[in-house]
Amino acid sequence: MSTESQTFTEKYDLLGCIQCGRCTGGCPVTVRADLNVRQFVNDAYDEDKLGQLARLAEIWDCTACHTCAVRCPKGLKPLEVLIGLRSMIVESGKVEPTVRDALQSVLLEGNPWEKPRATRQDWMEGLDVKIAEPGVHVENLFFVCCTNAYDPRVQVTAKNLVKLLNKAGVDYAFLPEDESCCGSEVFTLGEEGLFEMTVEDNTEYLNEFKADRMVTLSPHCFTTYNTHFPDLKNPVIHYTQLMDELIQEGKLAWKGELAKKIVYHDPCYLGKQSGIFDEPRRVLKSIPGVELLEFERSRERSLCCEGGGGKMWVESESKKERLAETRIKDAKELGADIVAAACPFCVLTLEDAMKTLGYEEEMRVAEIMELLGEFTEA
Amino acid sequence: MKSIVCIKYVPDTSEAEVKVNPDGKTVDDSRFSFDINDADNYAVEESVLIKEDKGGEVDVLSIGPKQSEVMIRMAMAKGCDKANRVEDDRIADHDPLMVAKVLAGAIKEQEFDLVFTGCWADDDGHMSTGVALAEYLGVNHASMVKKVEVLDGKVKAHRELEGGLMEVVELELPAVLTIQTGINEPRYAPIRGIRQAQKKELNVVSLDDLGIDPTEVGSDASQVLVENLYIPEVESAAEFIEGETDEKAEKLASILVKGGLV
């Protein structure tokens, strides 16, 4: 993490940029918003211009999908220039009310959804969930994520996981009620101070638990812990990696058949940011009866759903077609019955798009864990 | 311009079920999140905007527990200068008149131009603390304020009345204004600002420190007695309107007219 004494140019290595344009050329947001990340990287050399740049609405259009970073031949992260500009607005306090409320909720309640901390484990009601204790070893320590814990649509991911783990006899435990947000969206919304505090507090908290590894349900938590938390003792994996292992070991008992065409949507935080492409596909292919399709834009080229980068709390000014709608249309053209994802934000944005397009009768958006819950013995 | 903004730490009852404790007189607040009262947040912003425009100082005043200090520090991060937090179990804090008397006791020895409060509290919803405070301080007041213009020795307050009517009143300073939500857009308090605000003066005071006689603000002095709290029974009825679209619209319109809703 950068020190306060660095200039903006030093902090984001702006002089490393050769203005080749691969960032803007690959940016998925350019089809619907007036965002030109190469221009921002160029103009931000001029420190006197920073205030003016920070006030441009399009800095909030970036979804932090990292396509620009993946494509940059110099290994830079152009998106972080936009995050740096967002930080200037955050420090002034003049952010959108939705962003203000989300950030304040992370500080006060440990989640961005303005939900009480005391209700973080309400999703566990009626389930036999093992809860971790500091210092007591467990093989798999689960970090549920704020969205999976609180959003009624995606709580099914955690619920199905518990049933499956219990049935498969996996040694696991979920973190207790005092688990707090990983800070993924705090980082991309530009609240540097709160993110630094999150890294310090969560590192101290999570290191109290002894585990072979920590398993995250959301790719956002997964990537954030692996990228920004250098002092975590336990390695961090995504749940699709664990499911892949359990399937290879023959620990899941299948029931019924899912004779459907499924297309897998690579979440940006799982795929292009963390290189997890094959495990979710293997898991889906393992479900009896499934025919797995591929989007034309898949793996590193996967089209962002616009759920990341704090966009769950910032509405774009653009009225053009949402990328999630483009994605659903592509899936329909492929003849897919189900669009599967392994990320709560992807599920929420894609499902909204499917409903907006009126495809509910003919298509379904599902978390991989939803399908596993339906087609394994529990 | 010297202002004092009074703020309250309240539970958010929208995200957890409200349950009455076995005593029948209090609410189980163990599952609620707590934050600044919504209207008070707008009052803080208005006081800071006026300070930024006219110069001067804004002090925070609050009656509340230690946990409420995060709310006070946030107000300071936004631009308030110093704070007094009153903590004393002897205050009958269910009674807005007793609360107003304590606030007045904490303010009365100071010189001030404006006192801001929220127009109502999200927990008990009495809408009377600010007005009672003006009475105890012996100064002018305007309630439900949606716009403030500070003039020379006066303040022009735009009050939101029923039916969307706006009333504009001019008050001699000093005065108390109870602020309605929507008057401004409260800013975010970044964590770095909150950390810097740790250096600002925050005094914790008791009734004794303020020279207030506890018997005058305690339950014996209060005219309000909570006898019983209960959750109203939910009654509902749903009618499904059948027919073609035109018919449905006509039936719906008829129901709305009969019910006096349009």
A287 shares contact with chain B (CB less than 8 Å): no
Query: What distance in Å separates the CA atoms of residue A68 and residue A63, rounded to the nearest whole number?
Result: 11
Query: What distance in Å separates the CA atoms of residue A26 and residue A7, rounded to the nearest whole number?
Result: 28
C-beta separation of B179 from B42 below 8 A = yes
CB contact under 8 A, B190 and A118: no
From residue B75, how far is each of A108, A143, B57, B186, B190 by CA, in Å?
14, 33, 13, 10, 11
C-beta separation of B93 from B63 below 8 A = yes
pLDDT in tens, A142-190: 999 999 999 999 999 999 999 999 999 999 999 999 999 999 999 999 9
A191 shares contact with chain B (CB less than 8 Å): yes
User: What's A178's DSSP letter?
Assistant: T
A330 shares contact with chain B (CB less than 8 Å): no
Residue B44 has what pLDDT? 98
Of A93, A104, A116, which is closest to B32 when you measure between CB atoms?
Answer: A116
Token match 């020190």: residue? A3
Mutate to test the interface with A, among B14, B183, B188 (most CBs of A within 10 A): B188
Report if residue B209 sits inside a domain.
yes
Rounded to 10 degrees, the C-alpha dihedral A253/A258/A259/A262 comes to -120
Domains of chain A: 8-92 (1.10.1060.10), 98-246 (3.40.50.1860), 253-375 (3.40.50)
pLDDT in tens, A192-209: 999 999 999 999 999 999
CB contact under 8 A, A108 and B70: yes
Report if residue B193 sits inside a domain.
yes
Residue B235 has what pLDDT? 80
Residue A295 has what pLDDT? 98
A61 pLDDT higher than 80: yes
Residue B37 has what pLDDT? 97
Contacts B188 to A, Cβ<8 Å: 90, 93-95, 99-100, 103-104
Residue B236 has what pLDDT? 77
- pLDDT band at residue A2 under the 50/70/90 scheme: very low
Query: What distance in Å separates the CA atoms of residue B153 and residue B138, rounded to the nearest whole number?
Result: 17
C-beta separation of A186 from A200 below 8 A = no
Residue A278 has what pLDDT? 98
Report if residue B257 sits inside a domain.
no
Of A91, A95, A117, which is closest to B33 when you measure between CB atoms?
Answer: A117
Report if residue B19 sits inside a domain.
yes
Tally of domains in chain B? 1
Mean pLDDT, chain A, rounded, equals 96
- pLDDT band at residue A3 under the 50/70/90 scheme: low
Question: Beta strands B2-7 and B57-63: pairing type?
Answer: parallel
A365 pLDDT higher than 60: yes
Chain B: nearest CA to A136, how far in angstroms? 27
Helix, strand, coil in percent for chain A, rounding step 5: 45, 10, 45
Contacts A94 to B, Cβ<8 Å: 187-188
Residues 181-220 of B with CB under 8 A from A: 185-193, 195
Report if residue B251 sits inside a domain.
no
Which residue range forms the structural domain that includes residue B157?
2-217
Residue B239 has what pLDDT? 84
Contacts B70 to A, Cβ<8 Å: 107-108
Report if residue B147 sits inside a domain.
yes
Q: Residue A162: what are its φ and ψ, rounded to 5°?
A: -60, -45
Chain A: nearest CA to B195, how far in angstroms? 9
Q: Where are the beta strands (DSSP E) in A199-272?
A: 211-216, 236-238, 261-264
C-beta separation of A365 from A345 below 8 A = no
Contacts A194 to B, Cβ<8 Å: 190-191
Report if residue B256 sits inside a domain.
no
- pLDDT band at residue A4 under the 50/70/90 scheme: low
Going residue by residue through chain B (262 aa), what tens digit of pLDDT does each one get? 999 999 999 999 888 889 999 999 999 999 999 999 999 999 999 999 999 999 999 999 999 999 999 999 999 999 999 999 999 999 999 999 999 999 999 999 899 999 999 999 999 899 999 999 999 999 999 999 999 999 999 999 999 998 889 999 999 999 999 999 999 999 999 999 999 999 999 999 999 999 999 999 999 999 999 999 999 888 877 888 989 999 999 999 999 998 888 7
Nearest residue of chain A to residue B189 (CA atoms): A93
The contacts of residue B87 (CB under 8 Å, 6+ apart) are B63, B64, B65, B66, B204, B205, B206
Which CATH number covers residue B104?
Answer: 3.40.50.620
Judged by DSSP in three states, A363 sits in coil
Mutate to test the interface with B, among A109, A113, A146 (most CBs of B within 10 A): A109
Token match 């709560």: residue? A344
CB contact under 8 A, B15 and A119: yes
Report if residue B33 sits inside a domain.
yes
